[in-house]
Every structure is written in C-alpha cells, then in structure tokens.
Structure 1
Amino acid sequence: MVVHFGLVITRFFSAVMATALACGAIATELERGTLTLVVTKPIRRWQIVAGKWLGFAIVLTLNQLVWVAVIEWGAWNRLGAWHWGVWKAGLIGLLYPLLFVSLNLLLSVHLPWIFVALISLVFMGIGWSETAMRNIGTLANLPRLLTLSQIAGYLMPTGRIARWMVVESEVLDIVPRLSGPPGVEMPQPTVGDLLYVLAYILVGLLLACWLFGRREVAG
C-alpha cells in the first residue's frame, strides 16, 4: 500500500510540477520581453523550445528519482527488504511529467500561462476520468461510457502510464484489489501503450517547435 499510494502521489505532483514549470515558458516570457532578445539572435527557434523542454526534463527527472528513492526507503522500513519494483515503476513514471511538459509547451506558444495551466488541469482530469468511466461503464453495463473512457485514454494517455506503473511495481502480488473494484479487470498494459505515450510526447514537442517558428515576434 505504501508503494502504491506513494507512486500515485508521485504522479500527481510530477504533473503539477511540470505544469508549474512549463505553463508560461514561451508566451508569457515573450510578453515580458525575456525571450525577445534571444529570438533576435542567430539561434533557431526550435532550439529554444527544445532547450526548454530538455531543461525541464532534467529537473523533473531528478525530482522523480528523489521521490522514488523516498518511496523505496519507506517500503524498506515497512517490509524489511528492498522493493525493486518501485524503481521499475518509477522509470516508467518519468513519462508522466514529460507528457505534461510537451502539452504545456505546445499550449504556451500562443496562450497566457493562466489559460495553459487551466487547460492542463482539464487534460489531467480527462486522463484520470478514463479509469473511473471504465469502471462505472463496466459495472453498470453502459457501452457509451466505455466508449468515452477509450476516447479519454487517447486524448490524455496518463492511464496507460499508470497501468504500467501498477504492474511493474508488483503491488498486485501483495494487494490484488488495487487492480480495480470487484467485477472490473484492469486492462493489461501493452508495449503499444508506451509507444503511444512516446509518440504523444514527441508530436507535442514537434508541434510546439513548428508553431513557435511560425509565430510573429516583435523585435
């Protein structure tokens, strides 16, 4: 339980931290004039976006590793042994903040930080609603709700990462009920899930680079 809820908290705070760092990374800095000086220099615009993404990724990766180390320490104190599944789940969990960094950078090209943060929170809710809608739709036999759950999973694939983390953390071997309520089976994560998440992150970053390259910037 310590491992499971620790990883849930880690996912939440990594998403919040990614949003806080990246929501005003471009548009807001242009409004303040801090990016205007950089844009006028002989440097490609995509390099600015990619550089910001890489910088955020490094900070968030270090943050994630610290959280995972704390969870591992808690598991060791509780169980008296190292729980290596925490590290496997934690490495997959690195995709979580990267997902939100790409999304926030993409939105930040044209929108003020407050709108970017709000939209990011909406997407966070969409991602988390996938599981709730799937569970309710299965128990109540509501096909339309199951369809909405699938759509939510494509719009914001955080559930795909979460399922991989649950399996790799090996908590189901200890507490099987964490897979879902009685009568509902958690979909088995696939390699395709991870590939979709990676594509989502990459496409978001590439779109952010392309849109920023086309944006008019006052010198």
Structure 2
Amino acid sequence: MRNALLIAELSLREAVRKRLVSVLLVLSVLFIGFYLYGIYRLEMNLDERAVNAGLDGRSTTGLSNVPVMYSAMFGMYLVYFLGALMSVLSTVGAVSGDIENGVMQSVIARPISRAQLVLGRWIGFTVVNVVYVALLGTSLLIGLYAITGYLPPSPAPALGLILLSVTLLTALTVLGSTLFTTLANGIGVFVLYGAGFTGGILNAIGTFADSPTLTTLGRAANIVMPTNALWLGSSYLLQPPVLLEISKATRGANPFFGSDPIAPTLVLWAALLAALAVAAAMWRFSRRDL
C-alpha cells in the first residue's frame, strides 16, 4: 500500500506539473462566476416582478421561486457533467499513455509491482477528480445561497452521489487504460457514459408512455452503467417539494431530473462496480505483455 500511495503522490505531482490543476482552477472560477452572474440577474428580475405585482417579497420555497430552483438544478447537472468529462479526460492515458510513450518500461523496473502502480494511479486521479467536483459543487451552492437565500434540500448526500459517479468513471477509465490504447479507451468510456444517459431517457419515456418494455430497457442500462442513475438520485435529493410535485404530475417526463429516490442497492452496486473495475485493472495489467 505504501508503494501505491507513492504512485498516487507522483500522479498528483504530474497533474500539477502538466498545469492540469491550474487550468481547472481558472476555468472553474470563470464557469462559477458566469453562472452565478446569470442567477444574480435572474434574482433581480424576479424581485422586480414581485414589486410590480405589489408583493412584499418572495418565498424561497414557493412557486414564485421555481426559476431559481431550476437554475440550481441545472447548475448541479453541469457540475455532474463536467465531473464526468474530467474523470475520463484526465485518466484516459493513466496506464496506456505511459506504455505508448515508452515510460512504463522504466517505471516497472523499479521495486514496485504492476498492481501497486495501477492502484496508485487510480487513487491519485480519483483524488484530483473528486476534490475538483466537490469544490465546484460546493462553490456553486454557496454562491447560490449568498445571492438568492435559497439552498436545495439535502445538498451533502446529493453531492456524495455525484462524487460516487466520478469515482466510478475514474475506475472504469483506469480499467480501459490497461486494456486498450488511449484513443480507444476514451471512446469506449464515453460510449458507456452515453449508454447510462440513454437508459435514463428510455426510462423516462417508458414511464411517461406507460411502456414496460422501455422502462425495463432503461433500468437494464442503468444497471450496466449506473452513472446517470446516480445523478437522477442526486437530483431527487436536490428538489424541494414543489419541484417534486411538478415531476410527479408530469410522470417523470423530464429525463434530466429524477422523480423517485435512488434504490440503495443501486448505490451499493455502483460502489462495488468501481471496486471491481480497479481490481480487474490491477489483475489485467499484472499479466499484460508490454
């Protein structure tokens, strides 16, 4: 484990050396500032409408504040989406990149096993990705509350589900990096991510159209790739009662937001799948012919 942590530390240093961290910080500040400015203008517009209507103020949990609630939801969806992109793009060459560059031959000559190397790479990139998404989501929620006084319900467990999705995607990308070339790995993981998103759409259409076949296909896709299901579970926790009533009235027609809580077994399966992916990556690379 000590060697794995050493590789994780080296991966973190590599991220800093390649300016990954600095680029993320700059782009994240720009994204948060741009989005929060839009929310600020929206809040001013809603306050102006309330004054013109002769109202003394708006309730943060009432129908008059629904635009702000949806803005918060879409903001968190962007955090989830950016986290997914970050997980794949930062990790896509975790192992295959070093093999293609000829660096791996000199690394494995050191007194460290291949399994420890893969574990260390996964730990290092997971730390980078999880910390990035956690800071991004927390900054968005704090800024939202500072501007509007509104905070979605259960933000901590909702953000936890997003972080689990990031951890799973990082693990699957590391596994693909031991199996395929860098380019093929990136394409493959994005296809899996798209399959999970397709499952959410099929499930939403099946529920709205009362089609058991589409619902079953959607649930099967969510089991194979549960990242989108984790987001839908997170979005359910972020919705106040007024938005949940709208979602249930439309029978879950919106595929971006969940109208039902996520099953605990699916959360456990996502965590187990991440662990299995890392274990499979360690096993596969230990037996790979370089």
TM-score (norm 2): 0.69
2:188 and 2:246 mapped to 1: Cα distance? 29
2:259 and 2:243 mapped to 1: Cα distance? 14
Q: Is 1:189 matched with 2:262?
A: yes
* Residues 71-110 of structure 1 aligned to structure 2 (within 5 Å): 71-80=140-149, 82-83=151-152, 85-110=154-179
1:99 and 1:174 mapped to 2: Cα distance? 32
**Could you say which residue in structure 2 is the equivalent of 1:207?**
280
1:35 and 1:134 mapped to 2: Cα distance? 43
Q: CA deviation at 1:159?
A: 2.8
Q: Is the 8 A contact 2:233 2:260 kept in 1?
A: no
How many residues align? The count is 216
TM-score (norm 1): 0.90
Where 2:112 maps in the other structure, the secondary structure is: coil
**Could you say which residue in structure 2 is the equivalent of 1:164?**
233
2:265 and 2:272 mapped to 1: Cα distance? 10
**Could you say which residue in structure 2 is the equivalent of 1:120?**
189
Q: CA deviation at 1:81?
A: 5.2
Counterpart of 1:148 (choices 217, 220, 230) is 217
1:21 and 1:209 mapped to 2: Cα distance? 19
Where 1:10 maps in the other structure, the secondary structure is: helix
1:163 and 1:128 mapped to 2: Cα distance? 10
Q: Is the 8 A contact 1:23 1:113 kept in 2?
A: yes
Which deviates the most, 159-168 or 203-212?
159-168
Change in CA separation of 1:150 and 1:194 when aligned onto 2, cut-off 3 Å: same
Residue 251 of structure 2 aligns with an amino acid whose one-letter code is: G
Where 2:210 maps in the other structure, the secondary structure is: coil
Residue 16 of structure 1 aligns with an amino acid whose one-letter code is: L
Where 1:139 maps in the other structure, the secondary structure is: helix
Unaligned 5+ runs, structure 2:
1-69, 253-257
Residue 63 of structure 1 aligns with an amino acid whose one-letter code is: Y
CA distances 1:55-85 after superposition (whole Å, capped 9, x unpaired): 0111112101221222112321343255563
2:179 and 2:76 mapped to 1: Cα distance? 33
1:214 and 1:22 mapped to 2: Cα distance? 21
* Residues 2-13 of structure 1 aligned to structure 2 (within 5 Å): 2-13=71-82
Structure 1 residue ranges (4+ consecutive) displaced by more than 6 angstroms after TM superposition = none
Where 1:25 maps in the other structure, the secondary structure is: coil
**Could you say which residue in structure 2 is the equivalent of 1:130?**
199
Counterpart of 2:114 (choices 41, 45, 48) is 45
Q: CA deviation at 1:178?
A: 6.6
CA distances 1:105-162 after superposition (whole Å, capped 9, x unpaired): 1111121111111111111111111121012122333332222112201110013311
2:202 and 2:87 mapped to 1: Cα distance? 26
1:153 and 1:54 mapped to 2: Cα distance? 25
**What is the identity percentage for the equivalent residue pairs of Structure 1 and Structure 2?**
24
Q: Is the 8 A contact 1:135 1:181 kept in 2?
A: no
Q: Is the 8 A contact 2:153 2:237 kept in 1?
A: no
Counterpart of 2:243 (choices 175, 193, 203) is 175
Residue 173 of structure 1 aligns with an amino acid whose one-letter code is: P
Larger radius of gyration: 2
Structure with more contact order per residue of length (Cα contacts < 8 Å, sep ≥ 6): 1
Change in CA separation of 1:198 and 1:179 when aligned onto 2, cut-off 3 Å: farther
